[in-house]
Structure 1
């Protein structure tokens, strides 16, 4: 899957300036530094290998901050279907590393009837994913 893969408009993809392992480490570090909890880190390539299949390096990192997510789920428990947030890191056939995040804020407002001000803090996650793909400032 490359950045040109078919994704909903709510999914933002970023080409990483780093290799796969470094990108994963940067993402994890940045999330923790910004007060996020990493709930689970799924190595999807390893899962494929366990059933005799191959998959390029692919990790799904499930993360969030209960201070931001809990009020959203208090307002509408079904919002828990979209929370916590998820970031995908994968390596394409050219060994380029990509990151993706589904910005769920629109769905929470439009589909779940939540106030935009309530879900606004969740939108900051997209910038964190983008930051982990880029070069460090000099």
Structure 2
């Protein structure tokens, strides 16, 4: 499966200019630099191996900043079903590394009835994922 795999329109995918391990390290570092909390980092390939199955390198990083997420959940506690945010890093069959994030802002505004200004801080997460995928500038 590559970035062309079927997914909702809200999912944004970026091809990484780096290998898998470097991409994961870059993402974790960027999140930390921006004051985000990494709540959990799930190695899904390792989980597959524990049940005798194989999966190409795949990590799900669950992250957020309570300063941004808490007001959203105060306004509508059910928004906690979508928060914290999640980023997926995986390697495809050609050994290309990809990152993806589900841009939840539309769902939070349209589906959960929240004000756009309240969910605006969450928009920054997509840019962080894109930076983690990008080549460093010279």
Please confirm whether the aligned pair reaches a TM-score higher than 0.5, indicating the same fold.
yes
Structure 1 gaps, min length 5: none
CA drift at 1:71: 0.2
Compute the TM-score of the two structures, normalised by the length of structure 2: 0.99
Residue aligning to 2:46:
46
Matched residue of 1:61: which SS?
strand
How far apart, CA to CA, are the structure 2 residues paired with 1:26 and 1:98? Answer: 13
CA drift at 1:104: 0.3
Residue aligning to 1:72:
72
Compute the TM-score of the two structures, normalised by the length of structure 1: 0.99
How far apart, CA to CA, are the structure 1 residues paired with 2:61 and 2:42? Answer: 6
**Residue correspondences, number:** 138
CA drift at 1:130: 0.3
Matched residue of 1:13: which SS?
strand
CA drift at 1:135: 1.0
Moved over 3 A (4+): none
Matched residue of 2:7: which SS?
coil
Matched residue of 1:113: which SS?
coil
